[in-house]
Amino acid sequence: MLTLVHMEPTTKKKRGILRQISMLFALGVILIGLLTFFSQYTLAISTVRRQTEAFASTVSRETAQAVTEYPAYQWLIHYWHTHPDEMEIEYDVDYKSDTITKEKCELLHKHAPELELKYATEAEIRLLSEADQKLYAEIAYSWLITRVDQIKQSYGIDYLFCVITDDTYKKQFFLFSGADPGAIRGTNYEEVYTLGVDIEVAESQQEAMKNAVATSSYLTDAGDYMDYYSYLDTVAGHPVLIGMTYSLTALNNEVGIITRNGSLAAMAFLIILSLLCLGLLAVLVLIPLKKIQVNIRNYRDNKNSKEVRENLASVQTDNEIGELSEDIIALTEAIDKYVTENNRITAEKERISTELDMARQIQESMLPSIFPAFPERKEFDVYATMEPAREVGGDFYDFFLIDSDHLCLVIADVSGKGIPAALFMMISKIILQSCAMLGQSVADILTKTNEAICSNNELEMFITVWVGVLELSTGKLTAANAGHEFPAIQRKGGKFELYKDRHGFVIGGMKDMKYKDYEIQLHPGDKIFVYTDGITEAMDAEKNMFGTSRMLDALNSVNDPSPETALKTVRESIRVFVKDTEQFDDMTMLCLEYSGPDTINSAS
């Protein structure tokens, strides 16, 4: 650690360089400052307005995304608008503790166990009873308002809200409002408005909302504040807008800061005046500085702080140069201490790096890595890869023979990254394989694995899993999906296409979960490809994701590829797409080609 030596201030009165030449610089500061102040002020106003509008647009997009990520958001908005008095809403939900919203989720899950709350469509919701529709609307509202609170607090906005209006724009019906911790939610002025508050607005706000609907967004002054509206959607003939309010005091302060900083930059012209002071600077500054410079260079070469202290002891000027000399002495001594400490830290980092490398080797040794994996078996060909984003990762794959006629395939993605995810991955892999070797159904494998992990999961980590058991003599593949990506299947002579199976809940996410399996009949020449989200979510420098479509294009770019060729083609396509962008998630893939029953082995 770098430790600075504290120097006691000298009691002798200093004749500072700044005081000696301040009168010369003062005239230049005044003249140049007056010339630039007015031009900087005009420029600052337009700059701050553009920055404010860009900032508001970013917040608006994030808020809109929080709303529209619900597939049935239009139904939800209409329901909130038409049933505000019936809603029993829990604001500021804490997901880590038992809440009313959590109880509602559990109740709705009992009534509609197949319903994915986050991804429920309007058609699915309309199949529910009126009571369950109300439950869903209340759950979604509590989730959304908590997210909106986070956005407001993160960006430090005075007011963030969403309203619905009509074609007259004279009233605002509040759908939700973001709040800071401890803020009062109510219907009074300056309180955070709750769902159903209906107020009349000034003409300036009416005009702002009208312009926002026409142009998608609009920024306007409103007394001591600046209002921003962005158009979200039209629901049942009513425009829905996201609004936010800024204090003009803060914006005016920012204008002042930009103006002042721009004016100060003009002081560079004082270099012309500094020519008049060269003589004085040579005597008071340059000669002592030259001696300090020589000692700095000597220290650079020999790293001897004791020699620096002895040489600079003669620099006894009674101004800032003398303090600089003392500071240089203190700095060189501190650097010596820092180098010693840095050497110790470097050695420690090398030790940690060695241990991480050993952890990576241990993790790799747990995954099947010798191909062909079963050279004596002709019924199938399998190939898999795993590339961790860090030294170790949370993804894993596995394949093993349960018996002579049943091959188990597994691919999984643990939440998180690094050492914790790697440890959780190793535990999960062992549990999955142990459950599979018991010869139970695929659904039972996931159910038993979930029970084992949930029994002691204090860190609340979870894992998405796809597992399948292939009957080699018939080609029947029995599989189950616990929140994992859709597999891709290629029929012989055809193209790879996603097989959109039904997802169960993630492993480790909730106790007493039951999983369902399904069957796929594979014929000789058919292939199945499974992967983790690190493949589809790989990003380029512009934050564009590789996506499922590009993955399928890569798989289909080679005519009838072997499993190994298929995986290498996808990986090369990702490399070309992301270019030099750093990998942020583990990338794991597995591909199997079914060749049909081995008549020789079957006969034996």
Task: Judge if 362 and 372 occupy the same domain.
Answer: no
Q: What is the C-alpha to C-alpha distance for residues 414 and 394, in angstroms, rounded to an integer? A: 5
pLDDT at 600 over 70: no
**% pLDDT > 70, the chain:** 78
Helix (H) or strand (E) holding 452: helix 442-454
What confidence score (pLDDT) does residue 496 get?
A: 96
Q: Which two tokens stand for residue 408?
A: 């188990």
Q: What is the C-alpha to C-alpha distance for residues 440 and 366, in angstroms, rounded to an integer? A: 23
For 264, residues 6+ apart whose C-beta sits below 8 A from its C-beta are 33
Q: What angle do CA 533, 384, 603 make, to 5 degrees?
A: 135
pLDDT band at 258 (very low <50, low <70, confident <90, very high): low
Q: What amino acid is encoded at 494 in this protein?
A: G
What confidence score (pLDDT) does residue 562 get?
A: 94
Please state which of the ranges 261-270, 505-514, 548-557, 561-570 shows the lowest mean pLDDT: 261-270
What confidence score (pLDDT) does residue 584 get?
A: 80
Look at residue 16 and tell me if it is in a domain: no
Question: 486, 499 in Cβ contact below 8 A?
Answer: yes
Task: Judge if 80 and 194 occupy the same domain.
Answer: yes
Residue-wise pLDDT tens digits, 207-241: 999 999 999 998 887 666 788 999 999 999 999 99
For 236-245, b/e burial (b = at least 16 CB within 10 A) is eebbbbbbbb
Task: Judge if 174 and 313 occupy the same domain.
Answer: no
Q: What is the C-alpha to C-alpha distance for residues 115 and 120, in angstroms, rounded to an integer? A: 6
pLDDT band at 602 (very low <50, low <70, confident <90, very high): very low
Q: What is the C-alpha to C-alpha distance for residues 445 and 440, in angstroms, rounded to an integer? A: 6
Please tell me which of 338-347, 384-393, 409-418 the model is most confident about, judged by mean pLDDT.
409-418
Neighbouring C-alpha atoms within 13 Å toward the C-beta of 219 = 15
Question: Measuring CA to CA, which residue among 471, 400, 396 is closest to residue 429?
Answer: 396
pLDDT at 356 over 70: no
Question: Measuring CA to CA, which residue among 447, 594, 460, 450 is closest to residue 523?
Answer: 594
Q: What is the C-alpha to C-alpha distance for residues 308 and 325, in angstroms, rounded to an integer? A: 10
**Edge-to-edge strand order for the sheet containing 496-498?**
380-387, 587-594, 527-531, 488-490, 496-498
Please tell me which of 249-253, 311-315, 492-496 the model is most confident about, judged by mean pLDDT.
492-496
What confidence score (pLDDT) does residue 281 get?
A: 64
Look at residue 264 and tell me if it is in a domain: no
Look at residue 210 and tell me if it is in a domain: yes
Instruction: Please count the structural domains in the chain.
Output: 3
Look at residue 295 and tell me if it is in a domain: no
Ramachandran area for residue 17 (φ above 0: left; ψ -120 to 50: alpha; else beta): alpha
Q: What is the C-alpha to C-alpha distance for residues 253 and 347, in angstroms, rounded to an integer? A: 49
Task: Judge if 428 and 495 occupy the same domain.
Answer: yes
pLDDT band at 566 (very low <50, low <70, confident <90, very high): very high
Q: What angle do CA 345, 350, 355 make, to 5 degrees?
A: 125
Identify the domain containing residue 208 by its residue range: 43-252
Q: What angle do CA 177, 180, 182 make, to 5 degrees?
A: 115
Task: Judge if 348 and 414 occupy the same domain.
Answer: no
Averaged confidence pLDDT in the chain: 83
3-state secondary structure of 120: coil
Look at residue 164 and tell me if it is in a domain: yes
What confidence score (pLDDT) does residue 23 get?
A: 65
Specify the higher pLDDT residue, 46 or 177.
177
Task: Judge if 193 and 131 occupy the same domain.
Answer: yes
**% pLDDT > 90, the chain:** 43
What confidence score (pLDDT) does residue 64 get?
A: 93
Domain C-terminal end among 252, 269, 287: 252
Count CB atoms within 10 A of the CB of residue 169: 20
pLDDT band at 263 (very low <50, low <70, confident <90, very high): low
Task: Judge if 416 and 524 occupy the same domain.
Answer: yes
Model pTM above 0.75? no
Helix (H) or strand (E) holding 477: strand 476-482
CA torsion through residues 57, 59, 61, 63, sign:
negative
Mean pLDDT of 345-365: 66
Mean pLDDT of 375-388: 92
For 344-380, b/e burial (b = at least 16 CB within 10 A) is eeeeeeeeeeeebeebbeebeeebeeeeebbeebebb
Task: Judge if 360 and 397 occupy the same domain.
Answer: no
Domain C-terminal end among 340, 366, 392: 366
Compute φ and ψ for 396, nearest 5 degrees.
Answer: -160, 160
For 139, residues 6+ apart whose C-beta sits below 8 A from its C-beta are 101, 104, 105, 108, 117
Specify the higher pLDDT residue, 492 or 303.
492
Mean pLDDT of 129-137: 93
Specify the higher pLDDT residue, 257 or 199.
199
Question: 394, 422 in Cβ contact below 8 A?
Answer: yes
Strands 185-186 and 192-193, bridge-based pairing: parallel
Neighbouring C-alpha atoms within 13 Å toward the C-beta of 266 = 20
Specify the higher pLDDT residue, 459 or 96.
459
Max CA separation in the chain (angstroms): 106
Through-space distance between the first and last CA atoms of the chain, rounded to whole angstroms? 71
Q: What is the C-alpha to C-alpha distance for residues 545 and 108, in angstroms, rounded to an integer? A: 34
What confidence score (pLDDT) does residue 251 get?
A: 62
Task: Judge if 341 and 433 occupy the same domain.
Answer: no
Q: Which two tokens stand for residue 119?
A: 């991804």
Mean pLDDT of 546-554: 96
pLDDT band at 567 (very low <50, low <70, confident <90, very high): very high
Domain C-terminal end among 192, 219, 252: 252
Count CB atoms within 10 A of the CB of residue 301: 7
Instruction: List helix spans (H) across 455-562.
Output: 533-536, 547-556
Compute φ and ψ for 559, nearest 5 degrees.
Answer: -75, 120
Look at residue 4 and tell me if it is in a domain: no
Q: What is the C-alpha to C-alpha distance for residues 506 and 118, in angstroms, rounded to an integer? A: 14
Look at residue 3 and tell me if it is in a domain: no
Q: What is the C-alpha to C-alpha distance for residues 411 and 429, in angstroms, rounded to an integer? A: 10
Q: What amino acid is encoded at 42 in this protein?
A: T
pLDDT band at 402 (very low <50, low <70, confident <90, very high): very high
Instruction: Tell the burial category of 435 from Cβ atoms under 10 Å away from its Cβ (0-12, 13-18, 19+).
Output: buried
pLDDT at 103 over 70: yes
Mean pLDDT of 56-60: 91
Task: Judge if 456 and 324 occupy the same domain.
Answer: no
pLDDT at 32 over 80: no
What confidence score (pLDDT) does residue 498 get?
A: 96
Task: Judge if 389 and 348 occupy the same domain.
Answer: no
pLDDT band at 5 (very low <50, low <70, confident <90, very high): very low
Q: Which two tokens stand for residue 247?
A: 């204090």
Task: Judge if 55 and 192 occupy the same domain.
Answer: yes
Look at residue 322 and tell me if it is in a domain: yes
Residue-wise pLDDT tens digits, 449-497: 999 889 888 878 899 999 999 999 999 999 999 999 999 999 999 999 9
What confidence score (pLDDT) does residue 589 get?
A: 95
3-state secondary structure of 26: helix
pLDDT at 352 over 70: no
Q: What amino acid is encoded at 533 in this protein?
A: D
Please state which of the ranges 22-26, 34-38, 107-111 shows the lowest mean pLDDT: 22-26
